[in-house]
């Protein structure tokens, strides 16, 4: 069985999928679970009707056009049978149906959510073992289910649509936090710009507008997803950046530039890093353009006034790397350690954009690099 799966034999894969779904997989399942998952696993979640299936269909076509094989799992935690909605999905995805490079399966609850999560995980392992390059998992974001799917996926896209009746604050707790990328689908509808504003104030992850029915923005979305993958490589399932355990993570590299627009001519247009998220930090008199780079970001810093720190830096040293920012889990203890060790701190901890505490450490203490230390709220208990 395992050999046939690994050769990617369609009938063996389909049979294994059915056995997994029915909870009747044989001893080969343990072996399947032990195989490394080298596929690119992307979770797509969001409220009912946001356009997840339409988007998944378009993304799959885009991947196929790039020569990649695709597995699609439509996971419905809300209904015990593969009924209405998912059947609809199947019909919508008919354009893909005749393509042997696309394997589509729908899965629904069989009693417990835990059972569904396990079956989904096994299905991902199956598709990865069968050599699928990309596995897309669609789940409705209605509760805990999407959180467990997010832990399977290397990158999670949260799909929202304008005018769905509830504003961002009212959305189910948990669904916004798991986003590595936001897709504002139905961007042809009114309210996309407002939703974008809300999302950008909420989280520092890429926000991409899409019109799934027309395939608009799909390529940009895939680029943004790619930007979340460390080093541009396919991560193992579950190898999420948030799981880093050292207590230190690079948050961003700050690059001082005279003009963000000019610099984007390189980073966005020539290098292809995608649209940045923009912000102005009044306190530091700086305009910031943030480019996703696999969890950490590259931040282009343009002076907002002539006597700002960045303006003075450029006047003295020219454009260039201005600082390295580290997110630190144990912020207070770290600052105390630095202080008592005689490191030159440039400011008392203060709140920056988004309310996060930060301190700058002078290059004289760090080997010549201005170091920004940011309190990691996500890990702080």
Ligand X SMILES: Nc1nc2c(ncn2[C@@H]2O[C@H](COP(=O)(O)OP(=O)(O)OP(=O)(O)O)[C@@H](O)[C@H]2O)c(=O)[nH]1
- Contact residues for ligand X, defined by CB under 6 A: 48-54, 85, 140, 185-186, 188, 211-213
Q: How far is CA 315 from the centre of its chain?
A: 37
Beta 102-108 vs 134-140: how paired, if at all? unpaired
Minimum distance from residue 130 beta carbon to Mg ion (Å): 23
Distance from C-alpha of 110 to C-alpha of 36, rounded to nearest angstrom: 27
Smaller CB separation from Mg ion, 141 or 303: 141
Distance from C-alpha of 237 to C-alpha of 218, rounded to nearest angstrom: 23
Smaller CB separation from ligand X, 213 or 365: 213
Instruction: Choose from Mg ion, ligand X, none: what does 106 bind? Cβ within 5-8 Å by kind.
Output: none
Minimum distance from residue 169 beta carbon to ligand X (Å): 21
Instruction: Choose from ligand X, Mg ion, none: what does 185 bind? Cβ within 5-8 Å by kind.
Output: ligand X
HEC profile of the chain: CHHHHHCCCHHHHHHHHHHHHCCCCCCHHHHHHHCCCCCEEEEEEECCCCCHHHHHHHHHHHHHHCCCCEEEEEEECCCCCCCHHHHHHHHHCHHHHCCCCEEEEEEECECEHHHHHHHHHHHHHHHHHCCCCEEEEEEECCCCHHHHHHHHCCEEEEEECCCCCCCHHHCCCCCCCCCCEEEECCCCCCCHHHHHHHHHHHCCCCEEECEHHHCECHHHHHHHHHHCCHHHCCCCCCCCHHHCCCCEEEEEEEEECCCHHHHHHHHHHHCCCCCCEEEEEHHHCEEEEEEECCCCEEEEEEECCCCCHHHHHHHHHCCEEEEEEEEECCHHHHHHHHHHCCCCECCCCEECHHHCEEEEECHHHHCCCCEEEEECCCCCC
- Per-residue CA distances from 211 to 186, 218, 235, 244, 284 (Å): 5, 8, 28, 34, 37
Identify which of 115, 40, 43, 105 has the alpha carbon closest to the alpha carbon of residue 73. 105
Smaller CB separation from ligand X, 50 or 221: 50
Instruction: Choose from ligand X, Mg ion, none: what does 188 bind? Cβ within 5-8 Å by kind.
Output: ligand X
Instruction: Choose from ligand X, Mg ion, none: what does 49 bind? Cβ within 5-8 Å by kind.
Output: ligand X
Minimum distance from residue 49 beta carbon to ligand X (Å): 5
Minimum distance from residue 93 beta carbon to ligand X (Å): 10
Minimum distance from residue 139 beta carbon to ligand X (Å): 9
Instruction: Choose from ligand X, Mg ion, none: what does 84 bind? Cβ within 5-8 Å by kind.
Output: none
Instruction: Choose from ligand X, Mg ion, none: what does 36 bind? Cβ within 5-8 Å by kind.
Output: none
Smaller CB separation from ligand X, 82 or 213: 213
Smaller CB separation from ligand X, 39 or 159: 159
Smaller CB separation from Mg ion, 139 or 308: 139
| Residue numbers at the binding site for Mg ion (CB under 5 A) | 52-53, 89
Smaller CB separation from Mg ion, 218 or 301: 218
Minimum distance from residue 75 beta carbon to ligand X (Å): 10
Minimum distance from residue 52 beta carbon to Mg ion (Å): 5
Instruction: Choose from Mg ion, ligand X, none: what does 211 bind? Cβ within 5-8 Å by kind.
Output: ligand X
Smaller CB separation from Mg ion, 185 or 204: 185
Minimum distance from residue 210 beta carbon to ligand X (Å): 6
Instruction: Choose from Mg ion, ligand X, none: what does 116 bind? Cβ within 5-8 Å by kind.
Output: none
Minimum distance from residue 159 beta carbon to ligand X (Å): 6
Q: Shortest Cβ contact with ligand X: which residue?
A: 51
Instruction: Choose from Mg ion, ligand X, none: what does 145 bind? Cβ within 5-8 Å by kind.
Output: none
Smaller CB separation from Mg ion, 89 or 251: 89
């Amino acid at each position: 069985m395992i050999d046939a799966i690994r050769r990617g034999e369609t009938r063996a894969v389909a049979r294994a999928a059915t056995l997994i779904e029915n909870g009747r997989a044989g001893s080969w399942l343990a072996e399947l679970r032990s195989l490394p998952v080298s596929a690119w696993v992307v979770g797509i979640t969001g409220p009912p009707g946001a356009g997840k299936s339409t988007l998944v269909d378009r993304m799959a076509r885009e991947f196929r056009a790039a020569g990649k094989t695709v597995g699609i799992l439509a996971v419905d935690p809300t209904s015990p049978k593969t009924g209405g909605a998912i059947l609809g999905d199947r019909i919508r995805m008919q354009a893909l149906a005749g393509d042997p490079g696309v394997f589509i399966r729908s899965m629904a609850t069989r009693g417990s959510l835990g059972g569904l999560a396990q079956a989904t995980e096994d299905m991902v392992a199956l598709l990865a073992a069968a050599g699928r390059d990309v596995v897309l998992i669609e789940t409705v974001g209605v509760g805990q289910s999407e959180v467990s799917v997010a832990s399977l996926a290397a990158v999670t896209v949260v799909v929202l649509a304008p005018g769905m009746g509830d504003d961002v604050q009212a959305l189910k707790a948990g669904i916004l936090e798991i986003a590595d990328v936001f897709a504002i689908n139905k961007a042809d509808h009114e309210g996309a710009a407002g939703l974008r504003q809300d999302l950008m104030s909420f989280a520092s992850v890429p926000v991409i507008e899409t019109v799934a029915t027309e395939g608009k923005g799909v390529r940009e979305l895939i680029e943004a997803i790619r930007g979340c993958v460390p080093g541009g490589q396919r991560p193992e399932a579950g190898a999420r950046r948030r799981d880093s355990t050292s207590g230190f993570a690079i948050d961003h590299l700050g690059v001082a530039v005279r003009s963000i627009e000019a610099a984007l001519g390189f980073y966005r247009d020539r290098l292809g890093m995608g649209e940045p998220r923009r912000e102005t930090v009044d306190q530091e008199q700086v305009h910031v353009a943030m480019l996703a780079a696999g969890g950490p970001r590259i931040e282009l810093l343009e002076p907002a006034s002539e006597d700002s720190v960045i303006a003075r830096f450029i006047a003295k040293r020219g454009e260039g790397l201005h600082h390295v920012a580290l997110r630190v889990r144990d912020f207070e203890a770290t600052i105390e350690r630095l202080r008592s060790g005689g490191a030159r701190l440039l400011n008392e901890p203060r709140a920056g954009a988004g309310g996060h505490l930060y301190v700058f450490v002078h290059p004289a203490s760090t080997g010549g690099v201005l170091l920004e230390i940011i309190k990691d709220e996500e890990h702080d208990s």
